[in-house]
């Protein structure tokens, strides 16, 4: 079962007796997982599981669900916030999806956007954070996708929820997409609703109400992923308006591809074909050939992907059609001042 089929099943959109029976089986499996996560969190909360401090403030950006919630734009925004204040910051991540000896797509994307911010990938995030401080003299460590990684002590936890799939369909994996029960939100310093512009105010209030039940003192923010420009693999940029009225083939390897498709549709183009790949997908020659054939047979004017995909495909055209990535930036709709106050509290003295 691929990611799209899994979401169709656990969301309840797939109907019928077989689908209902499968959801029942997955629910039984989720009971054990939820219990294990509660026990694990209790051990850390009670001080029975060892944690490690690394001698510098640690800011974590994570999520509560499987798949993409827009962590990379938030990591970029926070890193830039620190750099503008002259604070030396490094990004530390596990490197999920990277092939042996290489860097994953998120690291490659962030290296292009933040050339002055070191990015260390290490399965042991404690070692990675220690290395960032010792070798790069980092004053702040920015932990990417580490909310469930509790061995490393942190000073600030920023948790993102995707407005299109905010609460994991109400269940932990495998019945839903929650990595841990919603009670885990109580550890968050700030909860950020990403892609908030893609749902109405009533839905945003509903999500906020559920979050408040579990984390009443947590700061609340709302952001959108605003398209900035088109970029090709040679670094050439083009205005977003160049896609208006054009027929395009879109593709992406994201945890939640629906957000990217909505972004494309908002640019005024006609999405004639759209292909979804697994999150952190490593594109093969066969994948590229299939996309090229799709671009040709569909009569598309262009092929469009995310920046995260472009850094791995590394081509500027498919079947003679230009290949562009949509570069997005984070824009706050609410709560920016609250998040800034939290960041100021963990900023090393003398750097504000």
Q: Is 32 helix (H, G, I), strand (E, B) or coil?
A: helix
Q: Environment class of residue 73 by beta-carbon count within 10 Å: exposed (0-12), middle (13-18) or buried (19+)?
A: buried
Per-residue pLDDT, 99? 57
Per-residue pLDDT, 223? 98
Residue 107 binned pLDDT confidence (cut-offs 50, 70, 90)? confident
Does 288 score more than 90 pLDDT?
yes
Quote the tokens at residue 79.
């890193």
Mean pLDDT score across all residues of the chain: 93
Per-residue pLDDT, 129? 97
Residue 116 binned pLDDT confidence (cut-offs 50, 70, 90)? very high
Q: Please tell me what DSSP assigns to residue 70.
A: S
Per-residue pLDDT, 97? 57
Question: Which residue from 237, 229, 67 is spatially nearest to 164, judged by alpha carbons?
Answer: 67
CB atoms within 10 A of CB 158: 27
Encode pLDDT of 51-65 as tens digits: 999 999 999 999 999
Confirm if 22 and 9 have CB atoms less than 8 A apart.
Answer: yes
Q: What percent of the chain has pLDDT over 70?
A: 96
Residue 203 binned pLDDT confidence (cut-offs 50, 70, 90)? very high
Confirm if 313 and 323 have CB atoms less than 8 A apart.
Answer: yes
What count of Cα atoms within 13 Å lies in the side-chain half-sphere of residue 241?
0
Does 295 score more than 90 pLDDT?
yes
Residue 28 binned pLDDT confidence (cut-offs 50, 70, 90)? very high
Does 141 score more than 90 pLDDT?
yes
Say which residues have a Cβ less than 8 Å from residue 348's Cβ, sequence separation at least 6: 56, 57, 87, 139, 140
Q: What is the pTM of this model?
A: 0.90
Q: What percent of the chain has pLDDT over 90?
A: 86
Looking at per-residue pLDDT, the higher value among 260 and 303 belongs to 303
Query: What distance in Å separates the CA atoms of residue 174 and residue 161, rounded to the nearest whole number?
Result: 18
Whats the size of the chain, residue-wise?
A: 352
Per-residue pLDDT, 350? 53
Does 280 score more than 90 pLDDT?
no
Averaged over 120-124, what is the pLDDT? 93
CB atoms within 10 A of CB 64: 27
Question: Which residue from 226, 169, 170, 229 is spatially nearest to 194, judged by alpha carbons?
Answer: 226
Per-residue pLDDT, 256? 78
Catalogue all structural domains in the chain, each as residue range(s) with its CATH number: 58-225+331-346 (3.40.50.300), 227-329 (3.40.50.2300)
Per-residue pLDDT, 98? 54
Per-residue pLDDT, 265? 92
Quote the tokens at residue 209.
């109400």
- 268 phi and psi, to 5 degrees? 85, 10
Q: Please tell me what DSSP assigns to residue 12.
A: T
Q: Please tell me what DSSP assigns to residue 286.
A: H
CA angle 285, 291, 297 (to 5 degrees): 135
Query: What distance in Å separates the CA atoms of residue 160 and residue 165, rounded to the nearest whole number?
Result: 11
Averaged over 99-116, what is the pLDDT? 78
């Amino acid at each position: 079962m691929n990611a799209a089929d899994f979401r169709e099943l656990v969301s309840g959109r797939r109907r019928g007796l077989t689908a209902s029976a499968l959801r029942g089986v997955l629910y039984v499996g989720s009971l054990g997982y939820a219990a294990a996560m509660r026990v694990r969190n209790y051990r850390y909360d009670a001080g029975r599981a060892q944690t490690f401090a690394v001698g510098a403030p640690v800011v974590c950006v994570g999520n509560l669900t499987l798949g993409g919630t827009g962590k990379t734009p938030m990591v970029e925004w926070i890193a830039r916030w620190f750099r503008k204040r002259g604070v030396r910051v490094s990004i530390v991540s596990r490197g999920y999806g990277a092939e042996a000896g290489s860097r994953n797509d998120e690291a490659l994307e962030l290296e292009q956007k933040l050339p002055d911010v070191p990015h260390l990938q290490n399965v042991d995030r404690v070692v990675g954070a220690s290395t960032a401080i010792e070798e790069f003299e980092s004053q702040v460590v920015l932990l990417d996708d580490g909310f469930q990684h509790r061995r490393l002590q942190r000073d600030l936890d920023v948790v993102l929820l995707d407005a299109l799939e905010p609460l994991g369909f109400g269940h932990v994996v495998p019945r839903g997409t929650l990595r841990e029960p919603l009670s885990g939100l109580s550890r968050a310093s700030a909860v950020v609703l990403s892609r908030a512009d893609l749902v109405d105010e009533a839905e945003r209030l509903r999500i906020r109400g559920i979050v408040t039940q579990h984390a009443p003192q947590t700061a609340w923010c709302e952001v959108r992923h605003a398209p900035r420009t088109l970029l090709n693999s040679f670094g050439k940029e083009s205005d977003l308006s160049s896609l208006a009225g054009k027929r395009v083939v879109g593709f992406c390897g994201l945890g939640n591809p629906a957000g990217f498709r909505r972004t494309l549709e908002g640019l005024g183009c006609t999405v004639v074909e759209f292909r979804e790949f697994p999150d952190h997908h490593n594109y093969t020659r066969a994948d590229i050939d299939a996309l090229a054939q799709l671009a040709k047979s569909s009569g598309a004017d262009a092929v469009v992907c995310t920046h995260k995909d472009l850094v791995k495909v590394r081509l500027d055209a498919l079947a003679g059609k230009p290949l562009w990535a949509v570069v997005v930036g984070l824009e706050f709709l609410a709560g920016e001042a609250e998040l800034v106050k939290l960041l100021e509290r963990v900023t090393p003295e003398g750097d504000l």
